[in-house]
Structure 1
Amino acid sequence: MDNWLQRVKSRIEYNVAETDKLLLALSGGADSIALFHVLRQFGVQFSVAHINYNLRGEDAKMDADFAERLAHQHQIEFFKKEVFPGEESKNDLQSWARNIRYQFFDQLIREQDFTLLALGHHKNDQIEQFFLKSMRPSSVFSLGGMKILDGNRFRPLLDVNKDDIKSWLLANKWEWREDKTNKKTDYKRNWWRLKGIPHIQTQYPDLEQRLSTLQEKMQQVEQAMTFALRALITPFITQLFREVTQFDLKAFKREHNSKELFSYWLQEKGFSVDTIERLWGFDSEDFESKMFKGSQDLDAEFKGGVLYLFKPSNTSGPNYNVQSIEDLQKLDRIKAVSLVKEEADAKLEGHKSFILPIKEHAFPISIQPTDEGDKIAVFGLGGKKKTAKELFKDARMPQCIRKYFYTWKNKSGVLFIENLRTSELTRWSGGQVQHYKIELN
């Protein structure tokens, strides 16, 4: 077995557990085809995803057909997506394609419960990226290069030379597809691959080793800085929901007022220098929501001195249809359901609980993500109705977390909008009616 294959085998055994569910990004090029056969050879179970950007006419279709045929030949689950370039692709075609690609992969990971995304990046990609990153304003972290395992992204071929990959494919008579546009020097990456790096190597034949050593040191620096950063940043972070993080920028400025720390923290997450500059410059007393595309994985919202980081998603949570008190007690979103016998005990603090009188039409109760048009007869306002949108605005609620708040309704109307207000319908009705206190997690 080739030395590099033995290294890759050990790497896979170390990083891929039996319980992992692997998705391979398969373009049809030599790198991803090699990884396809490596995973098969070492008995790893995986699925395949391919995306056709329709940028190269018939060649692109042939790439897609080739990838699908290969997957089916080996009885491997195959996912595909087809997109067409539009206005948004004109300014930066490669960034557009990269964003589309990872949005597709991330969607599959969420919907199909994949735990690892296998990518065919190799040593030559690492070198090209170093020069690309060093030529534009970027994070010091990016000069450390890609990592073999970075979150759920797994790059087992990252220290393997592309020539070795192609030689192995040829020796085994495995075909792959060549992208003809890789020969065009219009793209910066291609220019570095075809002209820039070969020219530097005429003066520094050991360039690969020099850069590998430098990137190892940069990654060590990154680890140390990340540890120090988290110690300073963590006190200002609150995890609101599984996919939403709140950062109190106003308090951070008051305590440290360090733009450099703030910048390093967001650059580590993939935010651009320009976006960070804008976020730092906002007025902390401005309560108008401002939305940003932060990175491939994160969007951002700034409101009233607070920064919210969240994973973009168009999906909302499940709907519930509750037929009885017993059904309520089974819901994982409910902390406690208790019978209230005295009006004095029916007083509430905050908006994480409400009183439910069991009248004739108490059930069924629907519990579903709040629609901003939902109207509630607000408790304490003499029956005056307000929409959820008005209540969100009154509470200065950021847009990115509104979908996590649910509305409780029955035949009589809206009973409760979580974390906002209760309805006049939940007012104490006297001793002849059973009242239950519903507390949320």
Structure 2
Amino acid sequence: MLQKFKEHLGTHFSFLKEKKILIACSGGVDSVVLSFLLKKSGFNIGLAHCNFSLRGKESDGDETFVIDWADKLSIPIFTETFDTKEFAKDHKFSTQMAARELRYHWFNEILKDFKYDYVATGHHADDDLETFFINLSRGSGLQGLTGIPDINETVIRPLLPFSRPEIVAFAEENTLKWREDSSNTSTDYLRNKLRHDVIPEYKNAVEGVLQNIQKTQKYLKDSQDLIEDYMALVYNLAVTENFDGYTLHIEKLQELPHTEAVLYQLLHPFGFTDWPVVSELLKAQSGKQVFSSTHRLLKDRNVLLLTKITSKERKQEILIKKSTKKIESPLQMELNPIDKIGYIDNSVIYVDEDKLQYPLKLRKWRKGDIFQPFGMKGKKKLSKFFKDEKLSLVAKEKLWVLCSDSEIIWIIGHRADERFKVTSKTTDILKITVKN
């Protein structure tokens, strides 16, 4: 197995040469064998062990074992103890999700602080098979059926071609010791139920099932690569990237075959799962929107606007005194008295300061707001102005207005008000600048 492992590294992980590798070591047979193989292959390695405080003395015993194992290998060891149940409670995570969050956050800290390049985990072919069935049972798309990636940013999984029986046999041949996690015997979790009850029966019923599914996943990955190439063309044709997200052009999407499948490929990376509702947006009225846990998809005329959900912007008014020269939030704004007017663009206005009533107010626009657009005699509702300007719903939500008492001075970034303009009678000019 050692020779096969070295050949696998040479073919798929040649970039690891001269790199420092941090091994996530639980003390189980997988991580013990992985650390042994990488050490024998001449790599610069260290171990990281998480004590999740979930199994009392057994968890402490795992930690002691891993420390002793690192000493035998003469390599660095990092350990950390977590109150996993408390973290899960505070963040409304499952215990498994809490452990994952804690683990990888800590691993990344070690990578940064101690100059390691990659984290290696002991995932193997049987883990991959279990993941395949879990995703299949949950209605996964193609990507979920291609299995666990062998490389995912800074996480590598060099044992994926090897089955658990191979790994155990290698450990026994080399008289390696390891720890068994008692929680792995419980069938309360879906993965363990598949591991102990379902997959063994499936292997008995179908000869060579592990190798055959590995072949299937290879074909699926090839298909996924083709889809990604096609989606790159679709993206260039039907998607525009904006400063605050993406615009999906509905007419362009509907010209393509299999529009719903295209929508899935475009949107599933952003956490959307309710595909019937998502596809209905194509024919919905403007203003209809669908949310994932991280993003919003909004129908606006002939486009779908995809934006990230951010924390709610402050709704209170920001008061600006006459002595104020600069504000940093929610916008970066500077207010400077000047002698004469200079350049003008959407980020700068000049007003007659004598016409202002302090404190000025910076706030979000409201329904019913009216102003007198610069250069016009009559007044106009902001809603009508936005319609004329063809502003999207998302763009309107982001707008701020600067006011003097109840009168709007400036729709920031768009149009100043005629009533505050500089004239030949102006004695004090105020330059107001907003930085993007």
TM-score (norm 1): 0.63
CA radius of gyration, larger in: 2
Of 227, 230, 236, the residue aligned with 1:228 is 230
Q: Specify which of 367, 385, 409 is matched with residue 361 of structure 2.
A: 385
Which of residues 135, 145, 148 is equivalent to 1:146? 148
Structure 1 residue 125 displacement after superposition: 1.3
Residue 6 of structure 2: aligned partner: 6
1:347 to 341, 344, 347: 344
Query: SS state of the match for residue 156, structure 1?
Result: coil
2:386 corresponds to: none
> What are the Cα deviations for residues 235-281 of structure 1, in whole angstroms up to 9, with x where unaligned?
4444556xx752526566555481121113444x3846x43444334
Residues 248 and 31 (structure 1), Cα distance of their counterparts in 2 relative to 1, 3 Å cut: same
SS of aligned partner of 1:261: helix
Q: Which amino acid aligns with 1:50?
A: C
* Distance (whole Å) between structure 1 residues aligned to residue 350 and residue 64 of structure 2: 59
Corresponding residue for residue 158 of structure 1:
160
Residue aligned with 1:84, SS: helix
Gaps of at least 5 residues in structure 1 are 294-298, 314-333, 335-339, 358-378, 406-415
Q: Write the distance in 2 (CA, Å) between the matches of 1:181 and 1:348.
A: 65
Distance 1:214 1:60, change over 3 A: same
- How many Å separate the matches in 1 of 2:63 and 2:159? 23
Letter in 2 for 1:386: L
| 1:301 alignment partner in structure 2 | 296
Report the Cα offset of residue 17 of structure 1. 5.6
Segment drifting more, 246-255 vs 152-161: 246-255
Report Cα offsets for 1:339-368 as digits up to 9, x if no partner.
x9962x42113xxx44799xxxxxxxxxxx
Q: Confirm whether residue 118 of structure 1 aligns to residue 120 of structure 2.
A: yes
Partner of 1:363: none
What is the identity, as a one-letter code, of the residue corresponding to 1:139?
G
Residue 134 of structure 1: SS of its match in structure 2?
helix
Q: Paired residues, what number? A: 368
Query: Which residue is equivalent to 1:37?
Result: 36
Q: Which residue of 2 aligns with 1:374?
A: none
Aligned to 2:16: 16
Letter in 1 for 2:246: Q
Alpha-carbon distance between aligned partners in 2 of 1:380 and 1:348, rounded to the nearest angstrom: 21
Q: What amino acid is the match of 2:75?
A: H
The 2-side partners of 1:220 and 1:300 are apart by 29
For 2:8 and 2:339, the matched residues in 1 are separated by 67
Does the 8 A contact of 2:296 with 2:309 survive in 1? no
Matches within 5 A, 1:128-143: 128-143=130-145
- CA, structure 1 residues 281+39, in 2 after alignment: closer, same or farther (shift >3 Å)? farther
Q: Relative to 1, partners in 2 of residues 1:111 and 1:249: Cα closer, same or farther, differing over 3 Å?
A: farther
Alignment partners' CA distance in 2, 1:58 and 1:417 = 64
Map of 1:197 onto structure 2: 199
Task: Report what 2:376 is aligned to.
Answer: none
CA shift at 1:224, angstroms? Answer: 1.0
Shift of 1:187: 3.0
- In 2: Cα distance, 1:36 partner to 1:417 partner: 62
d(CA) in 2 for partners of 1:98, 1:422: 51
On the 8 A contact 1:4/1:160 being kept in 2, the answer is no
d(CA) in 2 for partners of 1:205, 1:88: 46
CA RMSD, 1 decimal = 5.2
The answer to whether the Cα contact below 8 Å between 1:354 and 1:437 also exists between their aligned partners in 2 is: yes
Report the 3-state secondary structure (helix = DSSP H, G, I; strand = E; otherwise coil) of the residue aligned with 2:44.
Answer: coil
Q: Distance in 2 between matches of 1:124 and 1:153?
A: 19
Structure 1 distance, partners of 2:217, 2:427, is 73
AA aligned opposite 1:302: L
- C-alpha displacement of 1:77: 4.2
Structure 1 position 130, deviation (Å): 2.4
Contiguous gaps of at least 5 residues in structure 2 = 312-331, 333-337, 368-381, 384-390, 400-409
Q: TM-score, normalised by structure 2?
A: 0.63
Structure 2 letter corresponding to 1:75: P
* Superimposed CA distance per residue, residues 309-330 of structure 1 (whole angstroms, 9 cap, x where no aligned partner): 65999xxxxxxxxxxxxxxxxx
| Aligned 8 A contact 1:289 1:398 in 2 | no
Greater CA deviation, 224-233 or 183-192?
183-192
Q: 1:111 to 1:184 in 2, by over 3 A?
A: closer
Query: Residues of 1 paired with 2:416 and 2:131: CA distance?
Result: 55
CA distance in 1, matches of 2:309, 2:60: 32
Deviations, residues 54-96 of structure 1 (Å, cap 9, x unaligned): 4434333433454466568732444554310757999x95xx5
- For the residue of structure 1 that corresponds to 2:139, the secondary structure is coil
> 1:260 maps to which residue?
261
Q: Which amino acid aligns with 1:121?
A: H
CA displacement, residues 357-397 of structure 1 (integer Å, 9 cap, x when unaligned): 9xxxxxxxxxxxxxxxxxxxxx9999751336979x99878
- CA 1:346 to 1:179, structure 2 compared with 1: closer, same or farther past 3 Å? same
Task: Name the CA shift for 1:303/1:398 in 2 (closer, same or farther; >3 Å).
Answer: same
Tell me which residue corresponds to 2:24. Answer: 25
Inter-partner Cα distance in structure 1 for 2:82 and 2:241: 33
> Are the equivalent residues in 2 in contact too, given 1:341–1:435 (CA < 8 A)?
no
What is the deviation of 1:122? 0.6
CA displacement at 1:209 relative to structure 2: 2.2
**In the aligned structure 2, how far is the partner of 1:56 from the partner of 1:250?**
53
Contact 1:123 1:157 in 2 (8 A): yes
Amino acid at match of 1:301: R
Instruction: Kindly provide the CA deviation profile for residues 1-29 of structure 1, in whole angstroms up to 9, marking residues without a partner as x.
Output: 733322344257513264x6655433332
C-alpha separation in 1, matches of 2:240 and 2:187: 46
